[in-house]
Amino acid sequence: MSYSIAFSQALEITSYIAIKSEEQYYEYLSIQKISEKLNIPIPSIKKISSLLKKNGILTSKTGSSGGLRLAKDSKEITIYDILEAIEGTRQLFKIHTDFDTTAFQNRESVEKWLQESSKLLYEAEDAMENVLRGVTLDELDKR
């Protein structure tokens, strides 16, 4: 029950780009430099940046002055946007639904327990997503 490490790497990459762009006024940051500073392999950065570009979080430019930059202001990018770009909209909790309740004497009680436990997990996931929707990339350093 976990998302891939690519999500945390995407968060690091976008945060690094946002901070460095603001600090040193870089227009684009090279993948090589990002890789060296964050210790993330170049192929991973390329794969992650491709997903982030596809979802409108990053843009890129080729050439000697090229690299990656945020596609929009860091105040407009939520942590959930990054999660969704990397992981898609798949559910965090996988619920086992092929459960034979006929093996129990109190079948109704078991079915209610299964229903309520599934409901609880979905509520927990919704709560997590709402928290991530409420925090922008810009706000991370202010928490």
Higher local confidence (pLDDT), 101 or 17 = 17
How long is the chain?
A: 143
Q: Quick: pLDDT tens for 2-60.
A: 678 999 999 999 999 999 888 876 789 999 999 999 999 999 999 999 999 999 999 99
- Cα separation, 24 vs 27, in Å, equals 9
Q: Quick: pLDDT tens for 49-97.
A: 999 999 999 999 998 888 999 999 999 999 999 999 999 887 788 777 7
- Cα separation, 22 vs 16, in Å, equals 10
H/E element holding 18?
A: helix 5-24
Q: Quick: pLDDT tens for 105-114.
A: 888 888 898 8
**First-residue to last-residue Cα distance in the chain:** 26
Domain count across the chain: 1
Q: What is the CATH number of the domain that holds 54?
A: 1.10.10.10
Say what the pTM is.
0.86
Residue with the two structure tokens 């459960």: 99
- Cα separation, 69 vs 83, in Å, equals 18
Instruction: Dihedral sign for Cα 112, 114, 115, 121, please.
Output: positive
Residue with the two structure tokens 């891939």: 4
Give the 3-state secondary structure of residue 27. coil
Q: What residue numbers bound the domain in which 131 lies?
A: 5-142
